[in-house]
Amino acid sequence: MIILETRGLKYAYPDGTVAVQDLNLEIKKGKKVAFVGQNGSGKSTLFLLLNGTLKPNQGEVLFHGVPFKYDSKSLRDIRKSVGIVFQNSDDQIFAPTVYQDVAFGPANLGYSKERVDTCVQQALEYVGLSRLKDKPPHHLSGGQKKRVAIAGIMAMEPEVIILDEPLSNLDPAGADEIMELLNEFNHFGSTIIISTHDVDLAYRWSDYVFLLSNSKIIGQGTPADVFKDTELLKKTGLRQPTTLEIYNEIERRGLASGGNSPKTIPELVNTLKPIDLMWVDVPPRVREGDNLNLGVMYGQYATQSPYEAINATVLHIHPDGRAIVELKRKGIKAGGVLIYDTDNYSLPEIKQILKEGEIVFVGAMGKKSKILAEQDGVRLDVSSGVIDKTILMALCGKRCLILTAGGMVDHAFKRIKEYVETSGIEFTVGVVSREEGCQWLEQTKDSSETLKI
Amino acid sequence: MTNILDDYALMSPLRHRNNWLKLAIVLFGLLVGVSSTSPVPPLFIALCMSFTTVALGRAPLKLYLKLLLAPVGFAVVGILIIAFFSGSGQELLSFKLVGYPLSVRKDGLELALLVLARSISGMCCLYFLALTTPMIELFAVLKASRFPEAFIELSMLIYRYIFVFLDMALSIRYAQTVRLGYSSFSRSLRSLGMLGSTLFVRSWEQGDKLFLAMNSRCYDGKMTLFEVKRPVGTSELLLTSAYFLLTLALLYLTKNASIV
């Protein structure tokens, strides 16, 4: 379903500078969309047009298929539904305290005092700033200010959240937190639109990418398609994402194969193998293209984990009965990932899981879980890029625990599950559920099953 | 950044107490201090207020003494003049300075002590307010006292942007200093002028951005102020009443007493 759409959009500033011209785009509901382009390519102006703050000279913007009207009541509805977070938080936060600033939007929507209060508390809880609600903005760090700005928009419960350069001036940890937050909103159904000139971010994070150059859209599509086109990227003055560039180089040298535009480091690592060919003796009835089960191998034949179940596809059969097969290996004794929902948090339980599950690697996602872990002295091995790093650890046969809450539980589970399915490397992944007790040790051996704990 | 009074007030535990109670305590202190005819009640008030500010309000003692030093310095100069040049009655001390006779008389000394005590108590009361009640708490008080809404809204925005512009001014000044903008007097003047004009232009731009930001969150000409309800606790009430009664009793007892 298309939520935002523009048709023949043109906007020039009063001094004649054309900021956006002939823009036709469609943004689907529930997607993570990135606008990528150099500085001055018209991203910020486009965003102000999408929110109704600027009125186009030509063309129209449509929300749920209905063209924007620019009378004050329609504008109010649009601005409630399409929230915008500015690049510089100081431009956006104008109230003397955090609470007052977040309450500004809901109060303008005419909510009752109690409802405003619930909205604000929820938004602040969400971004992990409840404890700072009475602070003045000038006592906050850059990352905290950004989160206040996001909470201010969140509190109005918009369907679309637009963020102009959300990661500018943030340190890596702060940037990870913001992106995690955005993923969480998206998980609950919000459409997220960001602008960035960080190609790595756009490539890794988004579902759909628009390339902007000189106030026009010169390319769009899934990140894998858009960033494959080096000619197009050259035109916009951007470079290829690092993971993609590395992959292209190692593929050219025959060191990797089979990866279809790896986005994350685990995906990249997974491509790091040349095509695995072997001579085998085959029974006479086997044809080319058949699948063979070669059984379990170990020792020098198992290259990726101690024991491997190997399937093979027959590529070519020699007249003397020997055949060339392509091997597909499945590790049997890899590690596992356990996800713990901190909404029902208890420290003794975590300690028990850590001990009985022989967990060597702990990560936390989301501000709330990180604060909990910090308070109770649970040692965190990783607090940013958690999913990727736990996958990498699990691949090395380690057992990992992820502490997280709310929608992030499903999100993490889905991501890891997807990885297991697409890579063919099996390791256990499961969500801690209390009803069935803690039986993770016995069940790790049937590694292909999803672990029930 | 903890270099202005407001920052200490923001961190003070007394910040979260009822604002009206604090205002009442300060007003009471000021009135009693001024109406007292003996230096004892004002000194008592000064002592109580200082104790509250430093011990309960956690203001750093060093900072507090430093803050008091400035007004006390002025007061001391003033009372020296009063002590030597006014009053009549018994002569307590006299000497000659460069052939000019100087003497301190009973009335003069008493007046001088009273002035000193009053000014110190007044300062202590005001510092109590300044160090425990940040500006952001006073907006609610202003609103409750029926100040015009526009005035309160403006002051809220101004309060916020003071710090934005302060940061901006500091970074501009730094940028000028590293390029030797303040190496001589005439250069300093020119740099300062540039700083001022840049700040003016920036604040103009900031105004535009502010309007944009407010508009994109459905601004309709009214900024709602949310007050935090802070009921007065029993212990606070008891303590305050005890303090009031004690001060009043002291005021009554020292009505006609003379300390010199």
Confidence of residue A304 (pLDDT cuts 50, 70, 90): low
Cβ of A136 within 8 Å of Cβ of B136? The answer is yes
B252 in contact with chain A, both atoms CB, cutoff 8 A: no
Kindly report which listed range (A132-146, A229-243, A254-268, B222-236) carries the lowest average pLDDT score.
Answer: A254-268
B220 in contact with chain A, both atoms CB, cutoff 8 A: yes
Q: What is the pLDDT of residue A258?
A: 67
Best A72, A87, A90 member to test B by mutation, with max B CBs in 10 Å, is A90
A363-392 average pLDDT score: 84
User: Which one, of A173, A209, A157, lies nearest residue A25 by Cα?
Assistant: A209
Report chain A residues whose CB lies below 8 A from the CB of B16.
134
**Which residue in chain B has the smallest CA separation from A113?**
B226
**pLDDT exceeds 50 at position A444:** no
DSSP SS3 for A27: strand
Cβ of A138 within 8 Å of Cβ of B225? The answer is no
B247-256 average pLDDT score: 86
Kindly report which listed range (A198-202, A249-253, B49-53) carries the lowest average pLDDT score.
Answer: A249-253
Give the strand pairing for A399-404 and A428-431: unpaired
pTM of the complete model: 0.74
B146 in contact with chain A, both atoms CB, cutoff 8 A: no
Q: What is the pLDDT of residue A279?
A: 81
B10 in contact with chain A, both atoms CB, cutoff 8 A: yes
Q: What is the pLDDT of residue B245?
A: 92
pLDDT per residue over A34-51, tens digit each? 999 888 888 888 998 998
Cβ of A53 within 8 Å of Cβ of B216? The answer is yes
- How many CB pairs lie under 8 A apart between chains A and B? 94
How far are the Cα atoms of A40, A75, B185, B198 from residue B201, in angstroms, in the given order? 21, 30, 25, 5
Report chain B residues whose CB lies below 8 A from the CB of A109.
218
Strand (E) or helix (H) holding B89: none
CA distance B188 to B183: 7
Percent over 70 (pLDDT), chain A:
90
| Least CB–CB distance from A105: residue in B16, B135, B217 | B217
Tokens of A163: 């963020």
Q: What is the pLDDT of residue B258?
A: 67
**pLDDT exceeds 50 at position A320:** yes
- In sign, the C-alpha dihedral spanning A392, A394, A397, A398 is positive
**pLDDT exceeds 60 at position A58:** yes
CA distance A23 to A174: 33
pLDDT per residue over B44-99, tens digit each? 999 999 999 999 888 889 989 998 998 899 999 988 888 888 777 777 777 777 77
**pLDDT exceeds 60 at position A32:** yes
Diameter of chain A measured on Cα atoms = 85
Q: What share of chain A is helix, strand, coil (3-state, %, to 5)?
A: 40, 25, 35
The one-letter amino acid at B201:
V
Confidence of residue B217 (pLDDT cuts 50, 70, 90): confident
User: Tell me, what's the ipTM?
Assistant: 0.77
DSSP SS3 for A354: helix
Best B12, B19, B203, B226 member to test A by mutation, with max A CBs in 10 Å, is B226
**pLDDT exceeds 90 at position A295:** no
Q: Looking at CA atoms only, how far is residue B235 from chain A in angstroms?
A: 24
CA distance B121 to B48: 9
**Which residue in chain A has the smallest CA separation from B134?**
A136
B93 forms beta bridges with: B104
Please provide the average confidence, as pLDDT, over all residues in chain A.
82
Q: Looking at CA atoms only, how far is residue B193 from chain A in angstroms?
A: 25
**Which residue in chain B has the smallest CA separation from A99?**
B226
CA distance B151 to B154: 5
Q: What is the pLDDT of residue A450?
A: 37
Best A49, A104, A113, A150 member to test B by mutation, with max B CBs in 10 Å, is A104
Tokens of A93: 């936060």
Q: Give exposure, A87-112, as e/b (b: 16+ Cβ within 10 Å).
A: bbbbbbbbbbbbbbbbbbbbbbbebe
**pLDDT exceeds 90 at position A268:** no
H-type alpha helices, A59-164? 72-81, 89-92, 98-108, 113-127, 142-154
**pLDDT exceeds 60 at position A148:** yes
Residue A126 dihedral angles phi and psi, to the nearest 5°? -60, -45
Which residues neighbour B160 within 8 Å (Cβ) at sequence distance 6 or greater? A93, A94, A95, A96, A136, A137, A138
**pLDDT exceeds 50 at position A453:** no
CA distance A238 to A34: 14
More confident residue, B25 or A262: B25
Place of tokens 């529930």: A30
Kindly report which listed range (A373-382, A390-399, B159-168) carries the lowest average pLDDT score.
Answer: A390-399
Cβ of A137 within 8 Å of Cβ of B160? The answer is yes
B213 in contact with chain A, both atoms CB, cutoff 8 A: yes
pLDDT per residue over A161-186, tens digit each? 999 999 888 888 888 888 888 988 88
How far are the Cα atoms of A189, A372, A403, A430, A433 from residue A409, in angstroms, in the given order? 15, 16, 9, 10, 12
User: Which one, of A241, A236, A242, lies nearest residue A39 by Cα?
Assistant: A236
DSSP SS3 for B48: helix
Tokens of B258: 């003379």
**pLDDT exceeds 80 at position A428:** no
Cβ of A100 within 8 Å of Cβ of B10? The answer is no
Best A49, A88, A138 member to test B by mutation, with max B CBs in 10 Å, is A138
User: Which one, of A160, A163, A158, A159, lies nearest residue A179 by Cα?
Assistant: A163
Percent over 90 (pLDDT), chain B:
28
B211 in contact with chain A, both atoms CB, cutoff 8 A: no
| Least CB–CB distance from A96: residue in B16, B159, B210 | B159
Are the CB atoms for A401 and A383 separated by under 8 Å?
no
CA distance A138 to B7: 10
A339 forms beta bridges with: A402, A431
| Least CB–CB distance from B213: residue in A86, A108, A137 | A86
Place of tokens 């190496």: B183
H-type alpha helices, A30-97? 43-50, 72-81, 89-92
Q: What is the pLDDT of residue A307?
A: 65
Best B218, B220, B228 member to test A by mutation, with max A CBs in 10 Å, is B218
Q: Looking at CA atoms only, how far is residue B217 from chain A in angstroms?
A: 5
User: Which one, of A389, A396, A340, lies nearest residue A368 by Cα?
Assistant: A340
B127-141 average pLDDT score: 88
**pLDDT exceeds 80 at position A195:** yes
Q: What is the pLDDT of residue B244?
A: 92
Confidence of residue B128 (pLDDT cuts 50, 70, 90): very high
pLDDT per residue over A276-286, tens digit each? 777 888 777 77
A376-383 average pLDDT score: 84
Cβ of B160 within 8 Å of Cβ of A136? The answer is yes
Place of tokens 């560039």: A245
Cβ of A100 within 8 Å of Cβ of B1? The answer is no
Tokens of A416: 């890891």
Cβ of B213 within 8 Å of Cβ of A92? The answer is yes
Confidence of residue A332 (pLDDT cuts 50, 70, 90): low
Query: What is the secondary structure of chain B as a DSSP string?
Result: ---SHHHHHHH-GGGGS-HHHHHHHHHHHHHHHHH-SSSHHHHHHHHHHHHIIIIIS---HHHHHHHHHHHHHHHHHHHHHHHHHS--SSEEEEEEETTEEEEEEHHHHHHHHHHHHHHHHHHHHHHHHHHH--HHHHHHHHHHTT--HHHHHHHHHHHHHHHHHHHHHHHHHHHHHHTTTTSSHHHHHHHHHHHHHHHHHHHHHHHHHHHHHHHTTT--S--PPPPPP-PPPHHHHHHHHHHHHHHHHHHHHTSS----
Confidence of residue A436 (pLDDT cuts 50, 70, 90): very low
Are the CB atoms for A191 and A3 separated by under 8 Å?
yes
Q: What is the pLDDT of residue A328?
A: 74
Cβ of A94 within 8 Å of Cβ of B218? The answer is no
Q: What is the CA radius of gyration of chain A?
A: 26
